[in-house]
Amino acid sequence: MTQTLLANATLVLPDATLRGTLRMEDGRITDITSGSALPKGAIDCGGDLVMPGLIELHTDNLERHIQPRPRVDWPHQAAIVAHDAELASVGITTVFDALRVGSVVTQGKANYGEYARALATEILDLRAAGALRISHFLHLRAEVCSETLVEEMAKFGPDDRIGIVSLMDHTPGERQFRDLSKLRDYVCGKHGLNDAQFDDHVTSQRALRDRLGAQHEATAVAEARRYGAVLASHDDTTEAQVAQSAAHGVHFAEFPTTVEAARACHTHGIRVMMGAPNLIRGGSHSGNVAAAVLAEAGLLDILSSDYVPSSLLSAALMLGDLWGDMARGIATVTAAPAEATGLTDRGHLVPGGRADVIRVARIGNAGAVRGVWVQGRRVG
């Protein structure tokens, strides 16, 4: 039997914070008591926050490890292990690794070929071998503006730990990039396109949406059901788009771009997820609604680190300060993402719960991770 006691800690419980001691045994939280006493053998947390491990639903971080420079394909096993270790170091104990499904194969597009099935197998094999520190699930990003979505999604099944399928519609002039000047800056900056090449990109993407969009959307919804995954929308902008998401059975909305869309999501019982970098930076890099605006309006439920893993903890602490309720702020990165994806065993500090726990010291407005336990085993 393994046992760990975290004592003299500020415990972030589901609805409040409490000075006390948390006991973990054999992968589970077994006891929570109040007070500042130091039982024999306990770790003295000195008032540090002790909270559930963070749960990340949407991250592009693995892509950065696999392609650290343009046209550099890093060995995948090393990249996955490094990605896993980085997430553990910032307090993330459960991740849904986001993989694009749906490629463009007839237009010679750089970096837009099929990769998801092979990479998913590598992630799952490393997990099975015990090489990863934290809990990994898959998040398939179903690209509607593509040519091969149907064929790629058919290669996955219920045994692949697919927790999320998101409906990704990157039609130029819609959703995230309603402002084509923002899309031009992004695409040309990332891929080095000239003006003529950008215009061709816009024309070809719009043609793909017109030709295959409806079929691809229906396929993604059906395949999510076959996998047993929850469905997410992406970049909803209008009430009509949210109504369509609700008709599909979407559980949560990734990065709605307007207050109108976020409010419509709540009307339809859809949780709203926003990017932690948006909150920390004070706005969206695409010119869309600021996360802080939704937080202040009571329309923000879940945070995602998106492209900066360390932002997840910092943004949750910011929300706790903004709302004057640290338990509520931390819930956006623990309980809320767990509930949105049906993970009933984690996301709360409660007796009987999975012992995914982190210890965090406040440093100014941010936090420093001082300990990470996954199923009661220290991994950071």
Asked whether residue 275 carries a pLDDT value surpassing 80, the answer given is yes
* pTM assigned to the model: 0.91
- What DSSP string runs through 329-376? HHHTTTHHHHHHTT-TTSSS--TTSB--EEEEEEETTEEEEEEEEETT
pLDDT at 363: 92
Range of the domain at 284: 54-345
Q: Are residues 237 and 337 in the same domain?
A: yes
Q: Are residues 217 and 162 in the same domain?
A: yes
Provide the token pair at 8.
């003299």
pLDDT tens per residue across span 42-79:
999 999 999 999 999 999 999 999 999 888 999 999 99
Q: Are residues 26 and 93 in the same domain?
A: no
Q: Are residues 19 and 86 in the same domain?
A: no
Asked whether residue 123 carries a pLDDT value surpassing 70, the answer given is yes
Count: domains in the chain: 2
pLDDT tens per residue across span 185-231:
666 655 566 767 666 766 777 777 777 878 999 999 999 999 999 99
pLDDT-derived band at 355, boundaries 50, 70, 90: very high
Give the CA angle between residues 38, 42, 45 to the nearest 5°.
75
Asked whether residue 106 carries a pLDDT value surpassing 90, the answer given is no
pLDDT-derived band at 175, boundaries 50, 70, 90: low
What's the whole-number mean pLDDT along residues 103-131?
Answer: 87
Q: Are residues 108 and 35 in the same domain?
A: no
pLDDT at 262: 98
pLDDT-derived band at 334, boundaries 50, 70, 90: very high
Residue with more model confidence, 169 or 22: 22
Q: Are residues 272 and 250 in the same domain?
A: yes
Which helix (H) or strand (E) covers residue 295, if one does? helix 291-296
How many CA atoms lie within 13 Å of 94's alpha carbon, on the beta-carbon side? 27
User: Based on C-alpha coordinates, what's the Rg of the chain?
Assistant: 21
Asked whether residue 278 carries a pLDDT value surpassing 80, the answer given is yes
pLDDT tens per residue across span 91-103:
999 999 999 999 9
Domain harbouring 171, CATH code:
3.20.20.140
Task: Kindly compute the dihedral angle of the four CA atoms of residues 245, 250, 252, 253, in this order, to the nearest 10 degrees.
Answer: -20
pLDDT at 176: 64
Residue with more model confidence, 378 or 112: 378
Asked whether residue 354 carries a pLDDT value surpassing 80, the answer given is yes
Domain harbouring 29, CATH code:
2.30.40.10
